[in-house]
Amino acid sequence: HKCDIGFIGLGVMGANLTLNLADNGYRVACFDLDQTKVDAILAKDSAERGDKPARLEGCNSYTELLSKLKAPHLIILSVPAGDPVDHVCNHLIDAGIKADDIVIDTGNSLWTDSVEREEHYKSKFIFFTTAISGGEVGARFGPSLMPSGNPYAWTRIEPVLKAIAAKVDPETGKPLETYTPGQPVTEGEACATYIGTMGAGHYVKMVHNGIEYADMQLICETYQIMRTALHMSAAEIAEVFRRWNDGKLNSYLMEISAEVLEQLDPETKQPLVDVILDKAGQKGTGLWTAVSALQVGSPAQTITSAVFARSISGLKEERVAASEILKGPHAPSLSDDEKMEAVHKLEQALYCSKICAYAQGFQLMATAANEHGWDLDFGEIAKIWRAGCIIRAVFLQSIAQAYEKDEGLKNLLLDPFFADQITEMQSDWRTSIADATMAGIPCPAMMSALSYYDSYRSAVLPANLLQGQRDYFGAHTFQRVDKPAGKKFHLNWSDPDRPQVAIKK
């Protein structure tokens, strides 16, 4: 009998998604340009299944793939973002794909490419997207999914995506996980929800990654302060991270950071992290988030700081040379009690900074949604990030609750729960940053988070002077606090006694 789904692209993510679909009872026809990958997945499936009937079928061409599928066809792509997506789509057209068939792109595609593709392929088939987070393990046992596109297509795809998605206990917001092949979690709330029309899902995934960059960088800065100012070893820091992971900072990123810090190098038996080169890579999604924030004018300085922190890490040789020339203060030596106190304060500092990073991400999504006409449900978005994805954290349950209480919440910082938390912890946050500054330890993301908080809560900012400067050199005009809003004025700065001119729009 025919297969339910066609799968193209059997790299690590694709192979694991295919096995996940099969675990959930779907019969899948698989294809990859590299036939060894097709053979490998069939072998893996039969090893997992033992003597039970196979759930996968291999194909050696696009035409064979289509011939093996139930109509209307449902095809999922897991190929690198960019040209390969169009390459596959064009081959499917040549192979005879029909107008009612659905192709789902699961890559980290740029959201504007997705918008163009939906339009471009409209007369040939329905192009739909599902952004995915969760890495290899997520793909195999339950990722977080951010689908978007044609709402009719969603009705056909929904059961499939909800089946393979990560699941959450709705009461606690904690992931319901099992990692046994053939035994998917079938209870709980699925981390897959329709995000909106085309592009919205990939936009939301892009912001997820921007937040991911900020969250990772904040943890790294905390580590840097601990190892440099507090002279703690990797093992000691791991222990603190493990403890924090039992509290309000509980998250996947916290957990894996502890694991990375604990890992010994099999060769030298020293902490592996101490021999990893301090030069960060990036594939671009954090950068896209930063660019988008700049374009729509939404303040996201902790996210952009995290991207720049990766850039400056890349200048390793320059930094090494500069370290010989540029002077800074020495970290003072601290007693054990002072160190314990500093560690306690850092926990609050990390938490407050994290709230700001998430506030920026949600604010950016709201601004972009307004601009692009998406009707984003932030409570639902927070909910599908509670499990499966890289930024999964207990904390997202509180974000979901904040938006459920107040759909129109302007900023996460204004939610009474988060506002109270920051009020309570901000003195520790400020002290941690001040101490790091006095010890000459960079913490750009943490500092930018605090600046974001302080800027957002300032009724008065110095942009009045800025407008004066702009009007002085470029007659760019200013508004006055004592005149009707929107009315623009220009002063003749070289002859100020001349009346100020009200400028018509």
Residues that bind ligand 6PG (CB under 6 A): 108, 133-135, 209, 212, 281-283, 285-286, 389-390
The first and second tokens of residue 193, run together, are 């929800």
CB of 389 to ligand 6PG, least distance (A): 5
CA neighbours within 13 Å on the CB side: how many for 293? 27
Alpha-carbon distance of 64 to 92, in angstroms, equals: 11
Q: Is 475 helix (H, G, I), strand (E, B) or coil?
A: coil
The closest of 220, 429, 435, 223 to 329, measured between CA atoms, is 435
Contact 104, 77 (CB under 8 A): yes
281/297 with CB nearer ligand 6PG: 281
In the bound state with ligand 6PG, the residue whose beta carbon lies nearer, of 98 and 283, is 283
Shortest CB 474 distance to ligand 6PG, Å: 38
Give the gyration radius of the chain's Cα atoms: 26
Q: Give the angle subtended at the CA of 389 by the CAs of 305 and 241, to the nearest 5°.
A: 65
Residue 310 marked in a binding site = yes
Residue of 118, 159, 146 whose CA lies nearest to 25:
159
**Phi, psi (5° rounding) for residue 231?**
50, 45
**Min dist. Cβ of residue 113 to ligand 6PG (A):** 16
- Tell me the sheet residues that pair with 246: none
Looking at the Cβ atoms of 8 and 390, the one nearer to ligand 6PG is 390
Structure tokens at 109: 């595609």
In this complex, which beta carbon is closest to ligand 6PG, that of residue 134 or of residue 199? Answer: 134
Q: Which two tokens stand for residue 146?
A: 């951010």
Q: Which is nearer to ligand 6PG, 135 or 170 (CB)?
A: 135
Is the Cβ of residue 209 or residue 360 nearer to ligand 6PG in the bound state?
209
Query: Which among 205, 345, 354, 383 is annotated as catalytic?
Result: 205
Taking the least distance from each CB to ligand 6PG, the nearer of 73 and 310 is: 310
Tokens of 257: 């950071």
Instruction: Output the smallest distance, CB 131 to ligand 6PG, in A.
Output: 8
* Whole-Å CA distances, 372 to 76, 115, 306, 348, 351: 26, 11, 26, 36, 32
Q: Report whether 108 belongs to an annotated binding site.
A: yes
Can you give 144-213 as a three-state secondary structure string? EEEEECCHHHHHHHHHHHHHHCCEECCCCCCEECCCCCCCCCCCCEECECCCECCCHHHHHHHHHHHHHH
Residue 212 bears catalytic tag:
yes
Q: Is the dihedral of CA 456, 460, 461, 467 positive or negative?
A: positive
Question: C-beta of 93: minimal distance to ligand 6PG in Å?
Answer: 28
Show Cβ contacts of residue 86 under 8 Å, excluding neighbours closer than 6 positions: 117
Q: Which residue, 259 or 338, is less far from ligand 6PG as judged by CB?
A: 259
- What is the nearest approach in angstroms of ligand 6PG to the Cβ of residue 205? 7
Structure tokens at 353: 């900074």
- Give me the least distance between CB of 328 and ligand 6PG, in Å please: 29
CA 116 to mean position of chain CA atoms: 23
For residue 182, give the amino acid letter: G
Longest dimension (CA), the chain: 94
Query: Is 133 a known ligand-binding residue?
Result: yes
Task: Report the residue number whose CB is nearest to ligand 6PG.
Answer: 133
Asked about 205 being catalytic, the answer comes back as yes
CB of 149: closest distance to ligand 6PG in angstroms? 19
Catalytic residue chosen out of the listed positions 118, 189, 212, 221: 212
Annotated binding residue 470 = yes
Contact 289, 213 (CB under 8 A): yes
Q: Is 134 annotated as a binding residue?
A: yes
- Which residue positions form the known binding site for substrate? 108, 133-135, 208-209, 213, 283, 310, 470, 476
- Which residue positions form the known binding site? 108, 133-135, 208-209, 213, 283, 310, 470, 476
Q: Among all residues, which ones are annotated catalytic?
A: 205, 212
